[in-house]
């Protein structure tokens, strides 16, 4: 079955990529038992949110799929067909490979190991990503520190909780609108799996797990303490109140949306769920008065 992909993503509307991905997923679900070919239109514009939601969905359900990109070089350049650019495929010159993107407006999907023993490599990789983004976008030091916070907290949560073998990061910036979109995702046990693993009380579905995570309920608090669970809260506070951005998290069949105006949870239709967790952030990067430390809880 061939599914033609020509999404109508409005770059001025953060959620638009998610909505378009849902439409594709709906078509995929109708042909789940067949070999699927995702055929990208030559001029299809895709956003990090669209691609990440689609990629994690395909991986979640072990679907047999083929990608056809035609003359759409962008889809190949972001390594969608290969499920991301992997550092181990460029053992001696990955940073050089990354630096080839320094004049682009995006970073490709980067797929990296979450193994504990790969911590040094992972930290180097994340630092390299931050440097490329800083140079691409021309980030001021105050915003760069905020970006470091947002990325490091998300990646550390994946490493600590997800039990995913790999994590994914994909970024794109929009020069005229002066914002940066970043998605960070995993294919792990989801928030619900993480809570259930430690028999957390009163959390029996993905929406409850997502609510608990946003409230800062941690599976790893020390005995008689509530020292953990501030990372996500601080990230949201920094991004929304500090930088004026948007925040979205997907886990299992649950979606969380946080903007300056709304904070809502959505239970998706029964046929739609992701194995793992996706964080998507739209980050306005022009704020000379911003100081991340003012938003740390």
Q: Contact positions toward other proteins, by CB under 8 A?
A: 12-15, 18-19, 22-23, 25-26, 116, 119, 122-123, 126-127, 145, 148-149, 152-153, 155-157, 159-160, 179, 207, 211-212, 214-217, 222, 224-231, 234, 244-246, 257, 259, 261-270, 272, 282, 284, 291-293, 296-297
Place of tokens 């109508």: 8
- CB closer to other proteins out of 63 and 268: 268
Q: Give residue for tokens 């997800």.
A: 162
CA angle (75, 36, 25) in 5-degree steps: 75
CA distance 183 to 179: 13
Pick the closest to residue 5 from 46, 43, 40 (CA basis).
40
Question: Which residue lies nearer to other proteins by CB, 49 or 107?
Answer: 49
Nearest distance in Å: CB 119, other proteins: 4
> 277: which strand partners?
186, 251
* Cβ at position 79, least distance to other proteins in Å: 24
Provide the minimum distance between the beta carbon of 155 and other proteins in the complex, in angstroms, as a whole number: 7
**Shorter beta-carbon distance to other proteins: residue 107 or 213:** 213
Exposed/middle/buried for residue 85 (C-beta within 10 Å: 0-12, 13-18, 19+): buried
Which of 80/179 has CB closer to other proteins?
179
109 and 87 Cβ atoms separated by less than 8 Å:
no
Q: How near is the Cβ of 120 to other proteins at its closest, in Å?
A: 9
SS3 state at 213: helix
- Give least dist CB 71 to other proteins, A: 29
The residues with which 36 forms a beta bridge, in sequence order, are: 65
Q: Which SS3 state, helix, strand or coil, does residue 14 take? A: coil
Sign of the torsion formed by the C-alpha atoms of 83, 87, 93 and 95: positive
The encoded tokens of residue 20 equal 């378009």
Which spans in the chain are helix H?
16-30, 48-60, 73-77, 94-99, 119-137, 141-157, 190-197, 206-215, 230-236
Instruction: Report, in Å, the least distance between residue 276 CB and other proteins.
Output: 19
User: Residue 161 has what DSSP assignment?
Assistant: I
Residue number with CB closer to other proteins (4 or 23)? 23
Min. distance of Cβ 131 from other proteins in angstroms? 11
């Amino acid at each position: 079955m061939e599914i033609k992909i020509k999404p109508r993503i409005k770059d001025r509307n953060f959620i638009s990529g998610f909505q378009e991905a849902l439409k594709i997923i709906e078509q995929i679900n109708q042909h789940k038992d067949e070999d699927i070919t995702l055929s990208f239109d030559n001029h299809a514009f895709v956003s990090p949110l669209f691609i990440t939601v689609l990629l994690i969905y395909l991986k979640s359900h072990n679907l047999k799929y083929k990608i056809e990109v035609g003359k759409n070089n962008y889809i190949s350049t972001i390594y969608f067909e290969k499920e991301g650019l992997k550092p181990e495929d460029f053992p001696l010159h990955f940073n050089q490979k990354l630096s080839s993107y320094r004049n682009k407006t995006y970073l490709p999907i980067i797929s990296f190991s979450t193994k504990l023993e790969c911590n040094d490599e992972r930290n180097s990789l994340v630092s390299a990503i931050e440097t490329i983004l800083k140079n691409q976008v021309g980030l001021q030091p105050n915003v760069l520190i905020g970006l470091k916070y947002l990325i490091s907290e998300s990646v550390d949560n994946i490493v600590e909780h997800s039990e995913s073998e790999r994590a994914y990061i994909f970024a794109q910036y929009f020069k005229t609108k002066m914002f940066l979109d970043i998605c960070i995702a995993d294919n792990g046990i989801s928030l619900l799996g993480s809570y259930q693993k430690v028999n957390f009380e009163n959390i029996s579905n993905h929406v409850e797990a997502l609510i608990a995570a946003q409230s800062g309920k941690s599976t790893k608090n020390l005995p008689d303490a509530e020292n953990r669970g501030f990372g996500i809260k601080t990230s949201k506070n920094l991004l929304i109140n500090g930088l004026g951005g948007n925040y979205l998290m997907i886990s299992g069949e649950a979606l969380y949306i946080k903007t300056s105006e709304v904070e809502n949870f959505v239970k998706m239709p029964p046929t739609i769920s992701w194995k793992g967790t996706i964080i998507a952030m739209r980050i306005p990067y022009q704020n000379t008065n911003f100081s991340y430390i003012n938003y740390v809880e």
